[in-house]
Structure 1
Amino acid sequence: MIKGYRLTASTGIHKGDRDYQQDQVALLNHPRVNGCVLAVLADGMGGRSGGRKASDQVMMTAKQLFERYSPDTDDASALLNQLVQEAHVVIKLTAVSSEEEPHSTVAAFLINPGGDCYWAHAGDSRVYHFHGSKFVKRTMDHSYVQALVDRGELTEEEANVHPQSNILMGCLGTDTDPPTDIHFIPKLRAGDVLMACSDGVWHYFNTTELGSVLSTLSAREATEFLIEKARARAHGGGDNLSLAIVKLEPLGS
């Protein structure tokens, strides 16, 4: 276990103003290795049950792979790649056996006992890294508006309110293989915070607000606050919301 901090964590989920819940989120402690944690989040799409089936498949795949994962000998980036690819294939097979078109995003981060961290995503569910209240990095959405931002045609603020902000350029269950972006953090430090969340959460906050909330509140309080505030800002038109927060609290705090 890494010296100098302890992990505190929380997950939250809310169906928003939708009729049914298609998001799924899990925070998994390794069955054999203390201090090894996998957070995984999936935002399902496609018909009443199709989206939920898709996000369920992501969770099931994650749990199976993580149980077999050995932090000492296995490559965490390979595990995350495998998670994305295997869930994608299973979701496609589900589509063959039903009339729905199940798709899902995925955002996951894995913290090893040595303090290194890997994350991966496909779609527009995000992983954020903060140190204290300072924004360090986040995943970049596989979406139409993100492509416009990358080309300098839209600002981040304009992208958030763009009418086509929900169009994805890649996710799980589609005809083409999903894009998988992997990021590596060599050494986490006390004061670091990691958060995975669906667009039902991040859509309503800028990074300054997120940093302030995540640094001043406990993981549990931050989860509850962000859901409550996103619900208020949605004005009755809110999507499903899900998030997972892991804080590296300095020992003695």
Structure 2
Amino acid sequence: MLRFSGAGVSDVGRVRPHNEDAGFVGPYVALVADGVGGAAAGEVASATAAYAVSATALAHFLEPPELVLTEAADAARAAVRYGVQRDLDRLGMATTLTVLVCDGSRVVLGHVGDSRAYRWRDGALRQLSTDHTYVQHLVDTGQITREAAARHPWRNVVLRSVDGDPEGPGLDLVPVPTRPGDRLLLCSDGLTDLVDEARISQVLQLSDPLSAAAVLTQSALVAGGRDNITCIVLDVVEGPLVVGDGQLLGALVDVANVVDAAAVRLR
């Protein structure tokens, strides 16, 4: 049976006062969320969505990934909305969400925003997610080249998020063909804005996932570290069923950042 074996690193960077990224690493679910919003709402949005998604995935252990991701996205959206209702100073808060779910035989990506997922196989790096940004729209419509997009001043303008577009289509669901030996990377744009894919591919050759995540994070810091940086490196392995809650990263480490709408409804 397939599962993930890996680790993540999240760093505030050299410019931002606090970490608005959140992450979770488990044997059958892993995710990165990058929050936006004023009044400390960015970390609330990312941690709340990360908690809702990871809790939903753990509660629906080994169920079909598409169903898990759909329910998890609904839970994340509801929790972020509730977080705004509890404190209107958080109005406008939202978060990216890039999550991988494995049911023991298949892996599916759920994605919204401009955090990214990659697969590294046989020395070749392939981006699995599509950025939901204004600049990516310009690339897709042939108005600018991919090379120009990397330097465009509006490259961080996100068009879709949780829950910045309440009437939006939700997560992109992308089946990810995987086999033992594949390596998967989830990361926030604090990495990809500063570290090119050639360097990412080079670092992913390191044998230990934690070392790879740490070196990728350090590469972004050396390049300026102007944003929060979160990197999760996962090896796809085959073996017996394992049980584990997972590793918390970034804003998710502080429970005060989490708005748990489900818990409130149960009171």
TM-score between the two structures when normalised by the length of structure 2: 0.81
- Note the C-alpha offset of 1:249: 6.2
Of 108, 116, 120, the residue aligned with 1:126 is 116
- Note the C-alpha offset of 1:83: 1.7
Over 3 Å counting, the alpha-carbon distance change for 1:121 and 1:209 in structure 2 is same
- What do residues 134-160 of structure 1 show as CA deviations (whole Å, max 9, x unaligned)? 123420111000001111222222212
Aligned residues: 235
- What do residues 178-222 of structure 1 show as CA deviations (whole Å, max 9, x unaligned)? 441111124x22331111110001112333322221123421111
CA distance in 2: counterparts of 1:176 and 1:77, whole angstroms: 20
SS at match of 2:143: coil
Equivalent residue letter for 1:129: R
Contact 2:22 2:33 (C-alpha < 8 Å) held by counterparts: yes
Contact 2:24 2:54 (C-alpha < 8 Å) held by counterparts: no
CA distance in 1: counterparts of 2:141 and 2:71, whole angstroms: 30
- Note the C-alpha offset of 1:175: 4.4
SS at match of 1:216: coil
- What do residues 96-142 of structure 1 show as CA deviations (whole Å, max 9, x unaligned)? 2221231111000012322x211111110111112032123420111
- Note the C-alpha offset of 1:22: 0.8
SS at match of 2:110: strand
Contact 1:132 1:215 (C-alpha < 8 Å) held by counterparts: no
User: Which runs of 5 or more residues in structure 1 are unaligned?
Assistant: 30-36
SS at match of 1:39: strand
CA distance in 1: counterparts of 2:185 and 2:56, whole angstroms: 21
CA distance in 2: counterparts of 1:58 and 1:38, whole angstroms: 14
1:110 matched residue in structure 2: 101
CA distance in 1: counterparts of 2:187 and 2:77, whole angstroms: 19
Over 3 Å counting, the alpha-carbon distance change for 1:133 and 1:190 in structure 2 is same
1:78 matched residue in structure 2: 67
Q: Matches of residues 1-253 of structure 1 in structure 2 within 5 Å?
A: 1-2=1-2, 7-16=4-13, 17-29=15-27, 37-71=28-62, 74-98=63-87, 99-100=89-90, 101-114=92-105, 116-178=106-168, 179-186=170-177, 188-234=178-224, 238-248=226-236
SS at match of 1:13: strand
User: Which runs of 5 or more residues in structure 2 are unaligned?
Assistant: 240-267
Higher relative contact order (CA 8 A, sep 6+): 2
Q: CA RMSD in A?
A: 2.0
TM-score between the two structures when normalised by the length of structure 1: 0.86
Equivalent residue letter for 2:129: T
Contact 1:92 1:174 (C-alpha < 8 Å) held by counterparts: no
Equivalent residue letter for 2:78: V
Contact 2:116 2:127 (C-alpha < 8 Å) held by counterparts: no
SS at match of 2:166: coil
- Note the C-alpha offset of 1:48: 3.7
